[in-house]
Amino acid sequence: MTANPRRWLRATFGALEAVCTRVFSPAWNPLVQLGAIGWFFYWVVAVSGVYLYVFFDTGITRAYDTVEALTHAQPWIGGVMRSLHRYASDGLVAVALVHLLREFAFARMKGKRWFGWITGLPVLMLIYVSGITGYWLVWDVLAQYVAVTTAELLDVLPLFGEPISRNFVNQVALSSRFFTLMSFIHIAAPLLLLLFMWIHIHRHAAARIQPARGLGVLVAGSLLGLAIVVPAVSQARANLDQVQATIGLDWFYLPLYPLVQQWGGATVWQLLGGMLLVLGLVPWLPRGTPAPVAKVNLLNCNGCGRCVADCPFGALSLEPRSDWQKYQAEAVVNADRCFSCGLCVGSCPTATPFRSASVFAAGIELPQLPLVTLREQLEKSCAPLAGGDRLVVFACEHAGTLGADLRRNAAVARMPCIGMLPPSFIDFVFSRRLADGVVIAGCGANSCYHRLGQRWTEQRIAGQRDPWLRARVPRERIALSWDADLGAFRKGLASLPVLRLGGRGASKPLPLPAGPRWPVPMRAIGIALLLGAMAGITGLLATSPGWRQLGQDEAVLQLSIRHATATKVECKPLTPQQMAELKPNMRRPVDCPRERWPVYLELERDGQLLYRGTHEPSGLWNDGAATVFRTFRIPAGPQSIVVRMRDSGRASGFDHVHSGTIDLEPGQNFVIEFRSGEGFTWH
């Protein structure tokens, strides 16, 4: 994959996020908390699922009726619970896929950061297993389609001794065996999913698993609205003797199912395997040399543990002191987990540019950008600035190209993440009168590439997290690129009263003023439109467009055969001399070679060959039954059928022949079977 699709995707997400930030506000922007919304959907699915299960009968004969009773006899709570269960499951797929695309777009899975991506893949697979088995349980025509198509898919894999499809060949063959297995998987898979979701975020410090409260209420409201306006209902009752021409398909869960009919199960497996392989390789796609990891400088580390608390990737720990200093602990970097973001540098209380040492060093530093270099560069690039709107822009490497307005009369200091900036550097800029204003430029609101850089920066400036920006620093001279009108900020700088520091300032540091917001009524309309559109699309794709699996005038013919042919060599008694030649444990009075003859089959319809094939017996020694399972879509109406079988090893001619004229109704499922001893039967 080239870099271009990623760049394009990134730009698209950037534009969408900008709209969502305006409409929802930065705190409620759903695009930057997709994982948290995923968790929310999971819990809705789990709670509604437990409710449904109380009323559900897991036997195949009663399943449809119990789901119908739940939907119609208790339409409020039962119907709503069922709809919530379905739509939250659809939401889970949608959220997981958009989240996957977004993480890919922002390359948050490259190299050492593979863990989140790779553990996301089983999460995705388990979501699909849970959903597909769920559709099976309703036992309506969609469930029938899911059962028959899944069986066709599974039969391609060399997992089962005989085709599972034979379980669904018609109403007579139908057994509860698989249905019960599906009920079990439908409970086990979501539990396993929960485990993998936990593993998925296991390496993330302060992972966001709850959406912002306001957003949670909005999402829950839209889900409930959708459940009431478009309740989830069953389709017609399943009947394996009939195939319904068109069924409503859930395109979130079953988009590949129509391909099974079009391309065959083997091709769909290849497609799936290929997709999984590509996804699995994504973290290791070509990339630059990884940056050196953070390095602890024991001379300056007092073991306070702030870096451990602030590292977004759990790459730091406090360990017993290994040097002569009197402190109890020291910070230790786990190089495999360190992504060189520098957030730990921003959190270290010793990282202050006011230190008089000519070569100052913090307790922890990034070797590629020591703070002493940052200070020198800052002082040097500020020297030529003049006028009343001189700017220092502390910019994160992921902030993209800075606008012309930010580059004019400005000194720009880049760093891997804005969370690397020790707040004392802002104080330093104003104390030394290096500039009149400071802009902190990071990724979009709440979408920090290194997860927590923006959050920690905002909290440090607001005095909510150590190390604070001192209260004396004028907040009106600082702007966050993700939450401010930078043009207005720039213009306003020159008109501010002369900068005076030195006093203690306000007793408690104030947070920065919030950036521009749309008026509330406009935001409310925007939110209603966006969430309404999302709910509408979910409701629509959950059943439509319908999938036409059979033409109006078509019927289905199935060939379902399981036949143990005669053995190739007959049993013959051994002479005493032959017996003596055998090892004692191999001695038997009769020698019975086990290998059986293959089955050769021909199927003709109206004089035209529909199928011809040879099927070897199963088993390692070809000593089991040969099985044949084939489905054909044929025109309905009267037609002649001939089926012939050779099972005795003869070179030509047939051992079993069955023929006749049949008249098929549209949608009828006509089955030809063969049973040893009985010959062919059809119905």
Site residues for ligand HEM, 97-116, by CB under 6 A, read 99-100, 103, 108-109, 113, 116
Closest separation in Å from C-beta 383 to ligand SF4: 30
For residues 301, 302, 306, 310, the Cα torsion angle rounded to the nearest 10 degrees is 20
What three-state secondary structure class fits 102?
Answer: helix
Among 92, 193, 294, 478, binds ligand SF4 (CB under 6 A): 294
Closest separation in Å from C-beta 423 to ligand SF4: 13
CB 499 within 8 A of CB 472: no
- Asked whether position 301 contacts ligand SF4 by CB under 6 A, the answer is yes
What's at 581, amino acid-wise? E
Binding segment (CB under 6 A) for ligand HEM, from list 203-211, 365-373, 424-432, 508-516: 203-211
Helix (H) or strand (E) holding 372: helix 371-382
**669-675 and 554-563: which strand pairing?**
parallel
Closest separation in Å from C-beta 187 to ligand HEM: 18
Is omega for the bond preceding 290 within 30 degrees of 0, making it cis?
no
Q: 247-282 burial string, b = 16+ CB within 10 Å, else e?
A: bbbbbbbbeebbebbeeebeebeeeeeeeeeebeeb
Residue 363 interacts with which of ligand SF4, ligand HEM, none, CB < 5 to 8 Å by class = ligand SF4
Helix (H) or strand (E) holding 581: helix 576-581
Terminal CA-to-CA distance of the chain, rounded, Å? 52
- Asked whether position 207 contacts ligand HEM by CB under 6 A, the answer is yes
Residues 6+ apart with CB under 8 A from 674: 561, 562, 563, 645, 656, 680, 681
Closest separation in Å from C-beta 467 to ligand SF4: 9
Question: Strand (E) positions, 229-366?
Answer: 246-247, 295-296, 316-320, 329-333, 364-365
- Quick one: which of 534, 452, 453 has its CA closest to 37? 534
Binding segment (CB under 6 A) for ligand SF4, from list 113-121, 293-301, 474-482, 629-637: 293-301
Closest separation in Å from C-beta 492 to ligand SF4: 34
Closest separation in Å from C-beta 512 to ligand HEM: 23
Site residues for ligand SF4, 355-374, by CB under 6 A, read 363-364
What's at 640, amino acid-wise? S
Dihedrals phi, psi of 637, to nearest 5 degrees: 110, 180
Closest separation in Å from C-beta 414 to ligand SF4: 16
- Asked whether position 117 contacts ligand HEM by CB under 6 A, the answer is yes
Helix (H) or strand (E) holding 250: none
**Per-residue x/- marks for ligand SF4, 316-335, CB under 6 A?**
x--------------x-x--
Binding segment (CB under 6 A) for ligand SF4, from list 148-156, 169-177, 340-348, 675-683: 340-348
Residue 451 interacts with which of ligand HEM, ligand SF4, none, CB < 5 to 8 Å by class = ligand HEM
Place of tokens 């959708």: 226
Measure the CA–CA gap between 521 and 47, rounded to whole angstroms: 34
Place of tokens 């699309």: 537
- Asked whether position 382 contacts ligand SF4 by CB under 6 A, the answer is no
Burial of residue 617 (CB within 10 Å: 0-12, 13-18, 19+) is: buried
Residue 343 interacts with which of ligand SF4, ligand HEM, none, CB < 5 to 8 Å by class = ligand SF4
Residue 302 interacts with which of ligand SF4, ligand HEM, none, CB < 5 to 8 Å by class = ligand SF4
Residues 6+ apart with CB under 8 A from 506: 471, 472
- Asked whether position 343 contacts ligand SF4 by CB under 6 A, the answer is yes
- Asked whether position 352 contacts ligand SF4 by CB under 6 A, the answer is no
Closest separation in Å from C-beta 189 to ligand HEM: 13
- Asked whether position 305 contacts ligand SF4 by CB under 6 A, the answer is yes
- Asked whether position 331 contacts ligand HEM by CB under 6 A, the answer is no
- Comparison of 117 and 456: residue with beta carbon closer to ligand HEM: 117
Degrees to nearest 5, angle at CA 12 with 6 and 18: 135
- Comparison of 108 and 630: residue with beta carbon closer to ligand SF4: 108
Residue 304 interacts with which of ligand HEM, ligand SF4, none, CB < 5 to 8 Å by class = ligand SF4
- Comparison of 131 and 419: residue with beta carbon closer to ligand SF4: 419
Residue 340 interacts with which of ligand SF4, ligand HEM, none, CB < 5 to 8 Å by class = ligand SF4
C-beta atoms surrounding 170 within 10 Å: 18
CA distances from 543 to 16, 87, 135, 231, 311 (A): 27, 11, 12, 11, 45
- Asked whether position 350 contacts ligand SF4 by CB under 6 A, the answer is yes
- Comparison of 99 and 390: residue with beta carbon closer to ligand HEM: 99
Among 307, 410, 461, 628, binds ligand SF4 (CB under 6 A): 307
Binding region for ligand SF4 (CB under 6 A): 293-294, 296, 301-307, 311, 313, 315-316, 331, 333, 338-344, 347-348, 350, 363-364
Q: Contact residues for ligand HEM (CB under 6 A)?
A: 35-36, 38-39, 92, 95-96, 99-100, 103, 108-109, 113, 116-117, 120-121, 123-124, 197, 200-201, 204, 207-209, 451
